[in-house]
Amino acid sequence: MSKMLQTAVVGVTGYAGAELARLLLHHPRLQGTPPVFAGRVDAGDGARGGVPIAEIHPQLAGSHTSGLKLEPFSWELLVNRGVEVLFLATPHEQSREWVPEALARGLRVIDLSGAWRLNDAANRAIYNFEDEGADLAVTIQAQAVYGLPELHRAQIANARLVANPGCYATSIILALRPLVAAGVIDLDHGIVADSKSGVSGAGKAPTPKTHFMHAADNLSAYGVFTHRHTGELLEQIGLSKSQIVFTPHLLPIPRGILSTIYVRFSSTQTADTISFIYRDFFAASPMVRLHAKALPQIQHSVHTNYADIGFQLAPDGQRCVIVSCLDNLLKGASSQAVQNLNVMQGWREAEGLE
């Protein structure tokens, strides 16, 4: 019998961390080898060996979490438990600091933050990383693979560091990359990506703008021309800043993303041609669902691990509206991380996700 893979999760207390824990605990390839959960633990909880996972996330309570705890983080803990793959559901700055140490210790890393997603220093400047330009940071960035399996499956398979994509970025890249790659979009005319996300996309830490009194019964735009995911769109779709306008909005719902994307084609197209482009591009991508009739809706994508894509072509055959939906905590974060794990391990890509 082959050795079971030992994983570890740092950042399990957050929304994405909770979903990641749930997926890993139920993954058929990891039964009998639950993840090591490590992080910041106060002195009192440290004295009792950590905090039971079921106390942090009661929805995970059951026989599969019996005895599992959030333990005080240390590299020695990970080494002693034989961890091979480390998931970081941590803030960007924390991942920036810990990834070099993890790689030096021989761990493979799937990082859910934005610390290593961007290759272009101009795009990365929005994060204002303290180690920007340092030799070690440059070396590690060169090793990082953007963790969108639909685009980089072969590179992910051999990667030591996978930089999980942003949630907005995933919804837009999957909708646009096939059409841009096919050369059918009039890029000089420009693309508009109008995206709306549930409040959980802002993370678990409360802010004035995610407070119930602000978000409820409201719809607001934010991060116009400044959102951190913009650089991912430019790099992964192959666009310049002048070719796309991306505007995120905050929806008064817990979770889910809907991106409505407006494009003009460089020549008259038929619905059958556009459908073929999508079907051909995603033929080997089990976590993308293409909608041939009705446009995707958040209610059908939320709590699933899929990205749903549909389009409506104007009667003139040149204007097109694309709708892309996903769950920001799943295909936009945690299930995408597990999908990357499957690819890295040579397992079936959709294993544990369907």
Question: Which residues lie below 8 Å from residue 293, measured CB to CB, with a gap of 6+?
Answer: none
Question: Which position among 78, 110, 167, 329 bears the catalytic label?
Answer: 167
Is 324:174 a contact under the CB 8 Å cutoff?
A: yes
CA distance 261 to 254: 22
Query: With b meaning 16 or more CB within 10 Å and e meaning fewer, what string describes 213-229?
Result: eebeeeeeeeeeeebbb
Whether 146 and 114 have beta carbons less than 8 Å apart is answered as no
Give the strand pairing for 36-39 and 108-111.
unpaired
Contact status, residue 120 vs residue 98, Cβ threshold 8 Å = no
Burial readout 64-81 (b: 16 or more C-beta within 10 A, e: otherwise): ebeebbbbbbeeeebeeb
167 is catalytic: yes
Enzyme catalytic residues: 167
